[in-house]
Amino acid sequence: MAAASFETAAEELRAVYSSGKTRTYEWRVSQLKAMLKIALHHEKEILEALRSDLNKPEHEAFLHEVAAVVSACKVALKQLQRWMKPEKVKTSMTTFPSSAEIVPEPYGVVLVISTWNYPFLLSLEPVIGAISAGNAVVLKPSEVAPATSSAMSKLLAQYMDVSAVKVVEGGVPETSALLEQRWDKIFYTGNSKVGRVVLAAAAKHLTPVILELGGKCPVIVDSNINLTVAVRRIISGKWGCNSGQTCVSPDYIITTKDYAPQFIDALSSELEKFYGKEPVHSNDLSKVINSRHFERLTKLLDEEKVSSKIVIGGQQDKTNLKIAPTVILDAPGDSLIMNEEIFGPLLSIITVDKIEDGISLINSKEKPLAAYIFTNDKKLKEEFVKRVSAGGICVNEVTLHLAEHGLPFGGIGESGTGSYHGKFSFDAFSHKKPVLYRGFTGDVSARYPPYSPGKLKFLKAVLSGDIIGIIRALLGW
């Protein structure tokens, strides 16, 4: 599409939105039901696309993408009427007699720019929020997952109202052309480098932005735990979630020097149970998305100060873009693997003298999208939740907070801004418009000139809620 075509498409969407069509409850429900049909009736097609793009095992692809979209649609359909209702607000003596409410209204025409690691879920869940809130929307899927992008473009055109919901495929030129247009809100999922580009483009039009980014997500592992359960959960959240290509995937482990050997042994044992002695040949392990990312990951491993620190894995299959689950012990602080988001099947372990030192270590780095701790120490749990600033936290679990629609999902600082999931998705694409209602009675002359000491005394009594003072001021006016 030429730049002029993008401008025309944006204008057409704005005309549709201005007609009021997308704001009706009936339209929103019809579009949510259409999205639900896409996920339910085309599961096989979607799973095949995900297998093509990422070699995702069917188990992972279904649970983490198809089922998650179905769940998000069902929550929105069930709760939409309640979400759309204005919220009553108690008024004060200052505006008496009056009533007030907060009315959620759609932003208008919004742009959703998705990413490649969960290309179905991370495209459609924000769109669910945008539609629930009554917006017209353009979805730009990631060109790095072309099979899924193509499938979504076809299916949304087949099921959705294309006058108000459009899909634009393509790469950097198309994304750049879209960012040149004026949007009422932009939702971007991806890395912080592109996030800054999106933010800069949005600033030209003062467009509000939600950025879902990433970061190095830490895991503190104490010694007073059920080690087998902890290790299985860490493996599931690391290698069982797209082979580590997940924004909330554990990036590095913090444990004590004394406990590290026991933890590594347990990790090695469970990894073999999950993926066998030759994990690069396992059908249960996703591939690295493409050769560029494969080379980036091998560069992290090949660094001289890191390669000698590998304690588990390290095997590579360049042809099939597979890297075995790999664990590095005490990589130097200035190494690439300790300073870049890994976003792959590599995991670092950092040892400390005291487990409490892990909190200070986390706080010395950029704020992560998620932070995790495994411990049975009540005081340590409380300290971790209190002192660690992260987009989200799990205690004795990893990544599972994403499954709860009642919890907001989003970052802080370098890991992003804004949140979504469940009602938070509706809120993300809604302006909370305050409305105050008054009649024509109760009009007090004290607010109008000519001013006098008596009027000021009365207003001070009103503002302080001093009923007796109000009466005295009125009597002495």
Strand order in the sheet with 217-221: 310-312, 326-329, 346-352, 250-256, 217-221, 370-374, 392-395
DSSP 339: T
The first and second tokens of residue 78, run together, are 């069930």
How far from 81 is each of 17, 41, 78, 107, 133, CA to CA, in Å?
A: 20, 26, 8, 18, 11
C-beta of residue 181 within 8 angstroms of C-beta of residue 76: no
C-beta of residue 187 within 8 angstroms of C-beta of residue 126: yes
Q: Say which residues have a Cβ less than 8 Å from residue 181's Cβ, sequence separation at least 6.
A: 6, 7, 10, 111
Q: How many CB atoms lie within 10 A of CB 415?
A: 28
Distance (Å, whole) CA 9 – CA 311: 54
Q: How many CB atoms lie within 10 A of CB 334?
A: 8
Return the percent helix, strand and coil in the chain, to nearest 5.
Answer: 50, 20, 35
Distance (Å, whole) CA 371 – CA 381: 12
CA torsion angle for 245, 248, 252, 253 (degrees, to 10)?
-130
Rg over CA atoms, the chain: 27
Distance (Å, whole) CA 337 – CA 307: 11
Residues tagged active-site: 212, 247
For β-strands 185-189 and 109-113, DSSP reports them as parallel
CA nearest to 136, candidates 124, 127, 145, 147: 127
C-beta of residue 111 within 8 angstroms of C-beta of residue 104: no
The separation between CA 349 and the C-alpha centre of its own chain, rounded to angstroms, equals: 26
